[in-house]
Amino acid sequence: MLVSILNGFAIGFLLFILAVGLSLVFGMMDVLNLAHGALFLGGAYVGATLAGSWGGFLGALAIAAVGGLVGGVLLSLMTEPLRKRSHLDQALLTLGVALIAAELLIIAFGDDPLSAAAPPGLDGSVSVLGAVYPTYRLLIIVIGAVLALAVYLVVDRTRVGALVRATVADREMVATLGIDNRLVKGAVFAVGSVLATVAGVLGGPIYGARPGLDATVLILALVVVVIGGLGSVRGALVGALVIGQIDTVGRVLLPDFASFVLFGALALVLVLRPQGLFGTRAVAR
């Protein structure tokens, strides 16, 4: 059971790295980006191709970060004309981008599943409270915890975070101060996209890379965002850890009903608290 709980934390922190960007873009910039899963898959393919050595692993992280930065800026520019239109228009546009990206990845890397190796030194196991546990998954827990603290401090305790929150609250007022709010939106989009591609590289040794993985992780990320609440870093963290535990411990205790438990938790939160555990407004408006 201890190993399952630790696996729940590893999956939960990986989901947090993926979902916090989606939550910030949707909750703060009011853009529903369904291409977020494709960004994760792109990072996973890069990691599966290059990882296996420390040079390859770090190189994959760097390439994924640059790719996420470019992808985020492009998505921000593409969705800007739809800013005042409904979420349906944004969803259709970003879904089309996701489908095109997924096909391009299949052309580039093939349609056979790829596995990714952890860097040397992290491909073994360590003893945790008497249980043997993979070293790489412990690294995911540490990286996720550090990123969660860093994102929280930037959003809630810095002038940059205050500028982003001010842009969300009153875009025109920020514009009167001489600040181009399109740049703010582009920066938030880029950071969220970089986190998604980096999560793809980090998740490679756990999930591998295969067609359809983008849709799987996108659904999990949307569940995390709905449970945690839009635009809340704390909500994204709590939601991701809850889903991580349900997805792993639930499969051990109730292997035939794990999916029902997962979406049952989502339905329960929507009924009792439609805005999510830490959100200030409901997802559906």
For CA atoms 169, 283, 254, 215, give the dihedral sign: negative
The reply to whether 75 falls in a domain is yes
Is 280 part of any domain? no
Within-domain flag for 188: yes
Residue 277 in any domain: the answer is no
Express as a percent the part of the chain with pLDDT over 90.
44
281 belongs to a structural domain: no
Instruction: Indicate whether 283 pLDDT > 70.
Output: no
- The pair phi, psi for residue 212, each rounded to 5°, is 95, -15
| Residue 222 vs residue 170, higher pLDDT | 222
Task: Give the count of beta carbons closer than 10 Å to the beta carbon of residue 148.
Answer: 20
Read off the DSSP letter of residue 114.
B
Which range (14-23, 160-169, 215-224) has the least confidence?
160-169
Residue 156 within a domain: yes
Q: How confident is the model at residue 282 (pLDDT cuts 50, 70, 90)?
A: low
Query: pTM of the prediction?
Result: 0.90
Q: How many domains does the chain have?
A: 1
CA gap 25, 277 in Å, rounded: 18
The answer to whether 202 and 15 are in contact (CB under 8 A) is no
Query: Which residues have CB under 8 Å from 253's CB, separation 6+?
Result: none
Residue 243's domain comprises 1-272
What pLDDT band is residue 285 in, cutting at 50, 70 and 90?
very low
Local structure of 158: helix, strand or coil: coil
pLDDT of residue 163 exceeding 90: no
Per-residue confidence band for 106, with pLDDT thresholds at 50, 70 and 90: very high
Q: Mean of the pLDDT values across residues 135-146?
A: 93
Please say if the pLDDT value at position 281 is more than 60.
Answer: no
**Residue 6 belongs to some domain of the structure:** yes
The first and second tokens of residue 94, run together, are 């970003």
What's the Cα-to-Cα distance from 267 to each of 25, 116, 195, 244, rounded to whole Å? 23, 34, 27, 17
In a domain, 284, yes or no: no
Of residues 177 and 210, more confidence is placed in: 210
Q: Which residue would you say has higher pLDDT here, 283 or 241? A: 241
Question: 176-198: per-residue pLDDT in tens?
Answer: 777 777 888 888 889 999 999 99
Interatomic CA distance for residues 55 and 47, integer angstroms: 11
CATH number at residue 33: 1.10.3470
**Averaged confidence pLDDT in the chain:** 87
Neighbours of 129 (CB within 10 A): 7
